Amino acid sequence: MSILVVMEERDGRIGRVSWEAFTAAQLLGTQLNQPVAVVIMGAQTEPLAAEFAGKHAGRVIRLEHALLAPYTPDGYCLALEQLIQSEKTSHLVFPHTYQVRDFVPALAARMGEVLIGDVVAISDGPVFTRQLMQGKLSGAYEHSGDGPCFVSVQAGAFRAEPVAAPSAGAAATIETFSPQIDAGRIRTKPGEPFRGEVQTVDLSSAQLIVSVGRGIREADNLPMVQELATALGAELAASRPICDNGWLPMERQVGSSGQSVAPRLYLAVGISGAIQHLVGMKASQCIVAINKDPDAPIFEVADYGIVGDLFEVVPALTEAVKAAKQ
C-alpha cells in the first residue's frame, strides 16, 4: 500500500499548500510505514514533476492527458479514479483548495468514500482533526471505509519542508500514467479565469489594518470604525459578510476569497474568526481582537483581546489613539 499526494500548480509552480500537503502525507507515511508517491495532474506535467525532483527524492507520477487542461471536475475525477484503481492506495492527500473542493468529494463518493476535508492535524490512528462550528470546536475524525481514505489539509496547518536539493544517488523516479478520457464525458465548459473589479486597494502592502465584521450590525455604524482606522493611519478592511452586504467593496475583503495580509498590526473589530477569514490574516505580526464573545475563534490567534461591546470600546480606543499621537 502507498500514500498518494496530489499536488496543484499555482502560478506555474507547485503551490505552497501543496508542499504542506506533502508534509502531511510524509507524516502519514511515517505513521503507517508506507511510501509516499507524488501525483502531478494536467496536460503538461513535466515542469512541475521536474520542480519536485529538483528538491526531493521519491516517486513522482505524472498523471497526464490533453483533456486535463483546463481543469474540469469530470476530467479530474476520471483520471484520478483510473490511477487509484491501478495503485494500491491507502490514503490520498490533497491541499484544501477550491479546485479540490470542486471534484474530490465526487470522486470519493464514486468509490463509496468520503473526503475528510480541511484537516488541521493528524495524530496516531490515524485520527484527523478538523474544525467545526465556524472554528469554535475541533472534531476528531476516523476512517473506516474499505477503500482509500481521502484527506485534504488546510493551508498553513502543516509546515512546508525547507527546500533542499536531493543528495546524489537519491534522485526522484518519474513515471507517466496516461488515463483514458473520452471528451464526451466532460460535461462542463470552463472559460478563461478573469479578475473581478480593478483592484485599487492593495491591502497586502498595508502596515496597519483595522478590519470589521458582522459585529458592526449595520452599514450606518461603519464610520465609527473608519474613524479608528484614520486615527491609527490604518487601511480599513472587512470580513466577507460585510462585503457580501455591499457595505464595503469586495476589494477590501480579507480571507480565502479575498486578499491575504500580514501587516504589523491587524485589529479585528466584531470579527468572530471563521477559518475562511483566519487563513487570510493569521500571519499578521500582531493581532488584536475586539469581540463580545469570549469564545470567538478570533481569540485563538489574537495577541491581545478585549472582550466587550465594540460600540463602547471602539470610540474609546479612537480617542486614546488620538491622545497618544498628540
Placement of cell 500582531 in the chain: 286
What is the pairing mode between strands 13-14 and 36-42? unpaired
- At residue 315, the 3 state secondary structure works out as helix
The correct pick among 1, 109, 163, 219 for binding another protein (CB under 8 A) is 109
Q: Considering the rule CB under 8 A, would residue 126 count as an interface residue with another protein?
A: no
The correct pick among 58, 75, 213, 258 for binding another protein (CB under 8 A) is 258
Q: Considering the rule CB under 8 A, would residue 237 count as an interface residue with another protein?
A: no
Single-letter amino acid code for the residue at 311: F
275 burial (CB, 10 Å; 0-12 / 13-18 / 19+) is buried
Nearer to another protein, 49 or 274 (CB): 274
Nearer to another protein, 164 or 198 (CB): 198
Nearer to another protein, 208 or 262 (CB): 208
The correct pick among 35, 54, 139, 249 for binding another protein (CB under 8 A) is 139
Per CB under 8 A, contacts with another protein among 266-295 are 272, 275, 282, 285-289, 293, 295
Nearer to another protein, 169 or 191 (CB): 191
Per CB under 8 A, contacts with another protein among 3-32 are none
Find out whether 60 and 47 touch, Cβ atoms under 8 Å: no
Single-letter amino acid code for the residue at 211: S
Q: Considering the rule CB under 8 A, would residue 247 count as an interface residue with another protein?
A: no
The correct pick among 118, 153, 177, 268 for binding another protein (CB under 8 A) is 118
The correct pick among 53, 201, 208, 224 for binding another protein (CB under 8 A) is 208
Q: Please state, in angstroms and rounded to a whole number, the distance separating the CA atoms of residues 89 and 84.
A: 6
Cell numbers at 72, concatenated = 474540469
The residues, any chain, with a CB within 8 Å of residue 293's CB and separated by 6 or more, are 272, 307
Nearest distance in Å: CB 253, another protein: 9
Rg (Cα) of the chain, in Å, rounded? 22
Count of alpha carbons within 13 Å of 49, Cβ hemisphere only?
21
Nearest distance in Å: CB 302, another protein: 5
The correct pick among 42, 117, 126, 270 for binding another protein (CB under 8 A) is 117
Binding-site size for another protein (CB under 8 A) equals: 99
Q: Considering the rule CB under 8 A, would residue 105 count as an interface residue with another protein?
A: yes
| DSSP state at residue 50 | H
Q: Considering the rule CB under 8 A, would residue 241 count as an interface residue with another protein?
A: yes
Placement of cell 457580501 in the chain: 244
Nearest distance in Å: CB 109, another protein: 4
Nearest distance in Å: CB 219, another protein: 13
- CA-based end-to-end distance of the chain: 67
The total of other beta-carbon atoms located within 10 Å of residue 162's CB is: 6
